[in-house]
Amino acid sequence: MPLDPQVGDELPELRVPVTRSTVVRYSGASTDFNEIHFSDRHARALGLPGVVAHGMWTMGAGLRVVTDWVGDPAAVLRYQVRFTRPVVVPDDDQGTEVVFRGTVQAVDGDVATVAITAHCGDDAVLGAAKAEVRHG
């Protein structure tokens, strides 16, 4: 991370693949075994288009755009997101991809506020995502 981030600085884009295997592994790690994360039938019964990735997986993956930039996960002071759409994960070998981008929105002393966007295809999957991170 630059020692002197400026408002408007863009962080390097982060592209994160997600497959059904990713979702199953996250289910085990998080102990969230809700059927919408592994069964198209259950997901569709609830009005979803198919199996969806965990919102917390999406949130965690999104913070990587900031932690990769700053180089130290412990530098993150605050992180917030609003979930806008689920990440639908097709039942194939390719899965899908979530693209994260960050832009420095404010700098106050040694704290930078980064706005984060997350898109899966044309859909924004996180909204109002912001992280405050200590730099320098």
pLDDT > 90 in the chain, percent? 96
Q: What is the pTM of this model?
A: 0.94
- In the predicted model, is pLDDT for residue 28 greater than 60? yes
Mean pLDDT of 109-127: 97
Mean pLDDT of 84-108: 97
- Buried b vs exposed e over 8-35: b needs ≥16 C-beta within 10 Å? ebebeebebebbbebbeebbeeeeeeee
- In the predicted model, is pLDDT for residue 1 greater than 70? no
